[in-house]
Structure 1
Amino acid sequence: MLPTDDADALDWLAFEQAGILTTGQATRLLSEGAVRGRIRSGRWRSICRGIVLTGNGRLTRDQHLWVAVLATGPGAVLAGVTAAAEAGVRGLRREPLHVLVPAARRAARTTLRRLPIDMPAVLVHRTSILPRAHVQRARPPRTTTARALVDAAGWAAGVDEAQALLAAGCQQRRVLPEELGAMLDVLPRAPRRRLIRQTVDDITGGAQALSEINFLRLCRRHRLPAPDLQEHRVDAAGRNRWLDAYWREWRVQAEIDGAHHMDARQWAADMRRQNDIWTSGDRILRFPAWLVRARPEEVADAVRRALIAAGWTPELTPGRTRA
């Protein structure tokens, strides 16, 4: 609730920080005795050493974020998937909370080990590069979306998760591939830097989903010609379509189907579209996204046979392959 016109500095600070204060902030506005009295009476709640809630209920999501930043200490900002989620990237894990601190100072790890049961775990990361331009003006402070996604990809549990994070941010239009590339330029020691650069290049080339990124990786690994991605077409009904992968020279298409293609109405639409493609003279291959990931050799073999049937001769086109 917005404070009234006659609210004092304490009310405004509590409003701006979702009711979470450091004891230092509180004692600058109240005496130490007054702060202790409010905690003993139950009006306020002690969250952990140095952090209080100006209330006595369970913590909300916003309060979790403020506790994570304030308990970690000066200069701390939300980072990684936590910052990306706050910037609007959907489908990311909400826990644990990720916080970034300058390498020159130590985080209050003892305090973070004593967080209450209604508070998610907080993971603290350190960096020697955190210029003001990398910090979003938000409450609580967080890294920019580009920095958040580059960090999140470096901290991810595996390669697929790292690539999925980058693809999600670009596909949802929360960040541009060029912004991710520029961020990498100023983070020379970023974990998985080479993978992130390759993924950004793939996204710039048209791959908008993890399944398409995996498909490009498959083509490189099996020395297949590199397809054009998200090729624009107008179908027989006059509707705009974008092909997942297209080898123009041999008129071969590959579609990477997600789970939504199992829907009956989508399935019927896919069949009509496939018929339009065949009657236009193109060959079309369709693969479920899980097959591209789980059985890449099977997918590569099907693509190779289709291209050879369409006139591709592998040994005569080395310039069109990617190592």
Structure 2
Amino acid sequence: MAKEYDVIVIGAGPGGMTAALYASRANLKVLMLDRGIYGGQMNNTAEVENYPGYKSILGPDLAEKMYESTIQFGAEYAYGNVESVELVADNLKLVKTDSDEYQAPVVIIATGSQHRKLGVPGEEEYGGRGVSYCAVCDGAFFRDKKVAVVGGGDSAIEEGIYLTQLAQNVNVIHRRDQLRAQAIIQQRAFANDKMTFTWDTVVKEIKGDGQKVTGLLVHNKKTGEDSEIEASGVFIYVGIEPMTEAFQNLGITDEAGWIETNDRMETKIPGIYALGDVRKKNLRQITTAVGDGGIAGQEAFNYLQTIK
């Protein structure tokens, strides 16, 4: 028999925990499910300097503090890799994991997104120690240093421009001989004297001294030559993917897999909400996920009042 709840939150990052906090504080029976430790990507962040209330805090420490706050009103937490969500009778949703089944009238999806990785040596080893996928999150750690940006789309160039406010030099490494970013963004980048461009080049390895990144080994596709580029930080923007495979059967995603919601975090299915990085949005930060979570948790309560 499926275990019964009022609200099931899939994903225990900052947005999911906030949604669970709001819903449980409204005296609802709430379950958070996650396939890993609570906190999500905060656990991979060395320092957080842009969350209100803390001048600086370690990502795992912020995750722990959020979790302690979340469970104070009775929200439960369980490990579980969600495989599907199915619609059943009487407004109920059946959530199937690899080990158990749960059901509730409300499901809040907070599974987030993940950056595509280069898949080269050094990328995993130096994650959080020079390898980053978020300039807004980590750019301040590379003040007056040389950094590299890998990619040529809007995100890569916009984040590269942002980094020029902090870094000594930003070297954009792109596998083609022209950028894919919008023309206006390209114009700003080419006009910025702190940005340089390495064309027709792919990264073969991210090099370091065992503690932090020191540079990159790159390969020029046209000349066939390998060379090294000095860099203290590497910001990778070769695409981002929503973690929505388990929800494809619901018809709530766009062609790229992002979940579409209104400003109340409602999907097209009553009782199913989505928040944070899994949504189609521009800024993916702890603060924006928390804001989404507060809305979704309150809307879950409002929805349940309508079906009683």
Give the TM-score band, short-chain normalised: under 0.3
TM-score by length of 2: 0.23
Comparing both structures, which one devotes a greater share of its residues to strand? 2
